[in-house]
Amino acid sequence: MTSAQAQLPRIEFWFDPASTYSYIAAADVARLEAEGRAHVDYRPFLLGPIFARQGWADSPFNLYPAKGDYMWRDLARLCAERQLPLQRPSRFPRHSVLSAGVALVGLDAGWGKRFVMAMYRANFGEDVDIATTDGLARVLRDLDLDPAPILADASAPPIRARLRAATGEAVARGVFGAPSFFAGDTLFWGTDRLDTALRHAQA
Amino acid sequence: MTSAQAQLPRIEFWFDPASTYSYIAAADVARLEAEGRAHVDYRPFLLGPIFARQGWADSPFNLYPAKGDYMWRDLARLCAERQLPLQRPSRFPRHSVLSAGVALVGLDAGWGKRFVMAMYRANFGEDVDIATTDGLARVLRDLDLDPAPILADASAPPIRARLRAATGEAVARGVFGAPSFFAGDTLFWGTDRLDTALRHAQA
Read off the pLDDT of residues A134-177 as tens digits, 9 standing for 90 and up.
Answer: 999 999 999 999 999 999 999 999 999 999 999 999 999 999 99
Please determine, for residue A3, whether its predicted confidence score (pLDDT) is greater than 60. Answer: no
pLDDT of residue B5: 57
Q: What does the alpha-carbon distance between residue A59 and residue A38 come to, in Å, rounded to a whole number?
A: 31
Q: Chain-wide mean pLDDT for chain A?
A: 95
Please determine, for residue B189, whether its predicted confidence score (pLDDT) is greater than 60. Answer: yes
- pLDDT tens figures, A89-100: 999 999 999 999
Q: Is B19 marked active-site?
A: yes
Q: Rounded mean pLDDT of A33-48?
A: 97
Domains of chain A and CATH, by start: 10-202 (3.40.30.10)
Q: Which pLDDT band, with edges at 50, 70 and 90, does B2 fall under? A: low
- pLDDT tens figures, B23-53: 999 999 999 999 999 999 999 999 999 988 8
- pLDDT tens figures, B127-159: 999 999 999 999 999 999 999 999 999 999 999
Single-letter residue type at A109: A
Q: What does the alpha-carbon distance between residue A20 and residue A40 come to, in Å, rounded to a whole number?
A: 19
Q: What does the alpha-carbon distance between residue B8 and residue B28 come to, in Å, rounded to a whole number?
A: 16
Q: What does the alpha-carbon distance between residue A40 and residue A37 come to, in Å, rounded to a whole number?
A: 10
pLDDT of residue B39: 97
Q: For residue A64, which residues of chain B lie inside 8 Å, CB to CB?
A: 54, 176
pLDDT of residue A53: 87
Task: State the smallest CA–CA distance between residue A54 and chain B in angstroms.
Answer: 7
Task: State the smallest CA–CA distance between residue A153 and chain B in angstroms.
Answer: 33
State whether A67 and B177 contact (CB < 8 Å): yes
Please determine, for residue A80, whether its predicted confidence score (pLDDT) is greater than 90. Answer: yes
Which residues, listed in sequence order, are joined to residue B58 by a DSSP beta bridge?
Answer: none
State whether A74 and B193 contact (CB < 8 Å): yes
ipTM given for this complex: 0.91
Among A69, A193, A196, the residue with its CB nearest the CB of B174 is A69
State whether A192 and B192 contact (CB < 8 Å): yes
Residue B106 · residue B143 · CB < 8 Å:
no
Rounded alpha-carbon distances, angstroms, from residue A190 to A178, A187, B4, B192: 7, 10, 37, 11
Among A64, A74, A196, the residue with its CB nearest the CB of B54 is A64
Q: Quote the Cα angle for B51-B52-B58, to 5°.
A: 70
Q: What does the alpha-carbon distance between residue B197 and residue B42 come to, in Å, rounded to a whole number?
A: 15
Residue B131 · residue B119 · CB < 8 Å:
no
Q: Residue B112, class by beta-carbon neighbours within 10 Å (0-12 exposed, 13-18 middle, 19+ buried)?
A: middle
The DSSP element (H or E) to which A41 belongs, if any, is strand A39-44
Residue A127 · residue A87 · CB < 8 Å:
yes
Please determine, for residue B6, whether its predicted confidence score (pLDDT) is greater than 80. Answer: no
pLDDT of residue B53: 87
State whether A174 and B70 contact (CB < 8 Å): yes
Please determine, for residue A56, whether its predicted confidence score (pLDDT) is greater than 90. Answer: no
State whether B176 and A70 contact (CB < 8 Å): yes
Report the side by side order of strands in the sheet with B186-189. Answer: B39-44, B10-15, B180-183, B186-189
Q: Rounded mean pLDDT of B103-126?
A: 98
Q: Rounded mean pLDDT of A55-68?
A: 90
Question: 3-class DSSP state for residue B180?
Answer: strand
Interface A-B: count of C-beta contacts within 8 A: 39
Catalytic residue among B3, B19, B99, B180: B19
Interface test with B, best of A74, A78, A180 (most B CBs within 10 A): A74
Among A64, A77, A187, the residue with its CB nearest the CB of B70 is A187
State whether B64 and A176 contact (CB < 8 Å): yes
Q: Which pLDDT band, with edges at 50, 70 and 90, does B54 fall under? A: confident
Residue B79 · residue B24 · CB < 8 Å:
yes
pLDDT of residue B174: 96
Residue of B nearest to A55 (CA): B64
Q: In 3D, which of A114, A94, A90 has the Cα closest to residue A102?
A: A114
pLDDT of residue A57: 87
Q: Rounded mean pLDDT of A185-189?
A: 98
Please determine, for residue B70, whether its predicted confidence score (pLDDT) is greater than 70. Answer: yes
Q: Which of the pair, A58 or B78, is modelled with greater confidence?
A: B78
Please determine, for residue B1, whether its predicted confidence score (pLDDT) is greater than 60. Answer: no
